[in-house]
Amino acid sequence: MNKFKCLKSTFSLLQVTIMAKRNLADYKTFNRVLEESKIIVALTGAGVSAESGIGTFRGPGGLWRTHRAVDLASPLAFRANPALVWEFYHWRREVAFAAHPNNGHIALAKYEKKCKEQGRSFTIITQNVDGLHRRAGSENIIELHGNLTKVICTKCKFIEVKENNPICEALRGRGDPSQKDADVPEIPLSELPKCSACGALARPYIVWFGESLDPDILDQARTLVETCDLFLVIGTSSVVYPAASFAPFVVERGKPVAEFNIDEEPASANFQFHFPGKCGSTLPKTLGIDI
């Protein structure tokens, strides 16, 4: 009986040391892999903007009034009530325009610059539409799901940047999440944002659920996923496709994936590295960037 007990304790001690050894090595090993990589890709999600005060989709910020963001981010919702969806995106624009890049965004931008000086490539593939990576100084950015500063015409498909806030007079002072839909007057269709080319109704240039991504943008992203040496997965729950298919594809290629997420547990056991904690702190540390 005693022999079995001490065997058990030795085994669990062994387990802990391996884990501890692996975690420790993670930083050293990660740094070696990072410095040796020529083509690095970082996939980012709402978590990288959380410390800038922008709510995540599945976190507490995922609700606007009584609506789930995923329910309003759909062509059906826009067809049914374009004024309500515009009021939602007007609020998202106000929040994003008032926000500032955090140390996570800045570390990624600075590391991109370092790579450029060393003749290596560093590209961000983002699911975020808040534009904070560009404002942090990143240049190589693929915006998979669009951008809040852009609109597209529902008729002639003309795409234009509209950074004026509010985007139209009828949305001034609107969008307050604490209000109830019933308590705010309906905005007539004629007063919603218009296409500068043909005057028809314009909609946010955002990829909504059930809509395909821009094929050129998807191709650019897929080419990087197929050729990168190292793939970083930052602040994303990895549930929305096709973005969620990228990291498993890199794992299948036998290339290292490193995850940065507030969650203690890695989203996948196949990721070689997992750095738990707020990415505003873990990214500068692991990328060796002084902020």
Task: Give the separation between CA 273 and CA 131, rounded to whole angstroms.
Answer: 27
Among positions 127-156, residues that touch Zn ion (CB under 5 A) are: 153, 155-156
209 binds, among Zn ion, ligand BV8, none (CB under 5 to 8 A by kind): ligand BV8
Closest CA to 208 of 105, 94, 92, 53: 92
Sign of the Cα torsion 271, 273, 279, 284 reads negative
Point out the annotated binding site for NAD(+).
45-64, 127-130, 235-237, 261-263, 279
How many residues make contact with Zn ion (CB under 5 A)?
Answer: 8
Contacts of 66 (CB under 8 A, 6+ apart): 180, 181
200 binds, among Zn ion, ligand BV8, none (CB under 5 to 8 A by kind): Zn ion
Which residue among the candidates 90, 105, 133, 145 is catalytic per the annotation?
145
Task: Give the separation between CA 11 and CA 36, rounded to whole angstroms.
Answer: 35
CB of 236 to ligand BV8, least distance (A): 3
Question: β-strands 67-68, 146-153: how paired?
Answer: unpaired
Comparing CB distances to ligand BV8, the nearer of 188 and 210 is 210
What does the binding site for ligand BV8 look like in residue numbers (CB under 6 A)? 45-47, 50-51, 56-59, 69, 73, 127, 129, 145, 206-212, 235-237, 239-243, 260-263, 278-279
Give me the 182-221 binding string for Zn ion, x by CB under 5 A, dash otherwise: -------------x-xx-x---------------------
Question: Which residue's beta carbon is nearest to the bound ligand BV8?
Answer: 47
CB of 193 to Zn ion, least distance (A): 11
Point out the annotated binding site for substrate.
89, 92
The reply to whether 14 sits near Zn ion by the rule CB under 5 A is no
Closest CA to 290 of 160, 66, 103: 103
195 binds, among ligand BV8, Zn ion, none (CB under 5 to 8 A by kind): Zn ion
CB of 241 to ligand BV8, least distance (A): 4
DSSP conformation letters of 154-197: TTT--EEE---SSSSGGGTT---TTS-GGGSPPPPGGGS-B-TT
Among positions 26-85, residues that touch Zn ion (CB under 5 A) are: none
> Are 64 and 243 spatial neighbours (Cβ–Cβ below 8 Å)?
no
> Are 177 and 91 spatial neighbours (Cβ–Cβ below 8 Å)?
yes
CB of 235 to ligand BV8, least distance (A): 4
Task: Give the separation between CA 274 and CA 27, rounded to whole angstroms.
Answer: 10
Number of neighbours of residue 226 by Cβ within 10 angstroms: 11
Q: Is position 145 annotated as part of the catalytic site? A: yes
Per-residue DSSP letter, 60: G
Q: Known catalytic residues?
A: 145
- Residues forming contacts to Zn ion in the complex (CB under 5 A) are 153, 155-156, 158, 195, 197-198, 200
